[in-house]
Amino acid sequence: MKQILSLFVMLIALAAAAQSSSHKYITVVAEPDHSDWTYKVGQQATITAYAIKENARMKGVEISYSIGPDKLDATKTGTVKTDKNGVATFKVPGMKVPGFTSVRVKVKYEGNEYTSMTNLAYDPYSIQPTTTMPDDFNEFWDKSMEKAAQVPMDVIIKHNDKESNAKVDVYYVRIQSYRKGNYVYGVLSVPKTSGRKPAILRLPGAAVRTFHGPNELANEGFVVLEIGVHGIPVDQDEEMYRQLETGALAGYTSQGIDNRDTYYYKRSILGCVRAIDYLCSRDDVDAKRIATYGGSQGGMLSIMTAALDKRVKCLFAYFPAYCELGGYYYGRAGGWPHMFRNPNEPNLQARLEVSRYYDTVNFARRLKAPGFYAWGFNDPACCPTSTFSAYNVITAPKQLHVGRDTGHWLYSWQIDLAHKFLKEQLNVK
């Protein structure tokens, strides 16, 4: 018992040490004069800059700043020194068109640098995408789905005794998809309650990894199928995934991009639709109450699946990737994975054309299902210029909940509201 207690105390100490070491010694802040960080096009902003050390503002410290369009090079730089109250100010010119301006501040202290970023929004709900929908966009995807639907599912399902509990059964599943011999793998969490239940297709962010159950949403009454997108089992040792991530699947986001039929994500997207097929085939799932759910790459796939499959009744997508893939080509920010930044890229025009069939913006244009969306202004991966480009073309019922200072993460209140939305849309008490 003493050994267990000692181990417990040690784990607490290690966790506390990790938490304290992750806290910045100095926090540097760029505070806009608009509390919502939002301005009209052409409106000048005033930034109050300061640095905090041990909960006190630092007096007489030099703060460097840079200003420029979201994800692009700075167009203005300078320095200011904090006054006797520990603050300094500088001006940010207004943008000429709707978009985001990044304000970065930096303090050097005792050989270390401390930085932060504040993204100012200029009429963000007026941002329009640069990408356009190909004339045969719908035909391409409808025919692709029609062909994939002819492939038998050939499901293999295996109960996982170790991960199951008194309330939820956990299974690992393999579903044939897209073409013979190609599979979707995932982990299925099924509440141990009677009757047909609502279902959620949980879609993953960008990574090559394992998946485990039970999914927490199963405790709230949902059947949850969480799938991978790489066509590989999701219950293997971590070492296998690390080898794939640095080997065969390194840079998978650009594999096959010279042709719309060979691009990596075609199989992944059709695999998501096949996962909906599987959920609808289950006796314990109410096929009229299905949602998609995911962030980043998963947010992209959540939008894409809901746009392609009318059986999806609602969706939750947070900081979706793949919005405005050609943005950099047109001189503005593009979304993750930030393609086409090199104007000398081989076969650039053909690749840009292929990207139009995979841009989240063009799927967003097709959406009919109600959606809950969430992100922040400071996301460096799925930058706000790109995510607003997609959100603004959605004509389906929608709601967006912004945590302005969030990066590539959400606050718990955003997630709580999203879960409430899903329950209301899918009639879960």
Active site residues: 296, 379, 408
Closest CA to 201 of 281, 315, 323: 315
Q: H or E segment at 79?
A: strand 76-81
Pairing of strands 183-191, 76-81: unpaired
- CA dist 367 and 397 (Å) reads 9
Give residue 92's identity as a one-letter amino acid code: V
In the block, residue with structure tokens 């949980």: 202
Angle at Cα 300 formed by Cα 297 and Cα 306, nearest 5°?
A: 135
Residues 316, 426: contact at Cβ < 8 Å? no
Angle at Cα 151 formed by Cα 148 and Cα 155, nearest 5°?
A: 120
Q: Name residues whose C-beta falls within 8 Å of residue 338's C-beta, 6 or more positions apart in sequence.
A: 71, 328
Q: Where are the beta strands (DSSP E) in 124-273?
A: 156-159, 168-176, 183-191, 197-203, 223-227
- For residue 377, count other CB atoms closer than 10 A to its CB: 26
Closest CA to 375 of 410, 399, 324: 410
Which residues, listed in sequence order, are joined to residue 171 by a DSSP beta bridge? 159, 188
- CA dist 409 and 255 (Å) reads 27
Residues 37, 376: contact at Cβ < 8 Å? no
- CA dist 90 and 104 (Å) reads 12
Cα–Cα distances (Å) from 297 to 11, 91, 335, in that order, read 33, 36, 11
Q: Where are the beta strands (DSSP E) in 285-365?
A: 285-295, 314-318
Closest CA to 396 of 373, 366, 424, 425: 366
- CA dist 340 and 328 (Å) reads 6
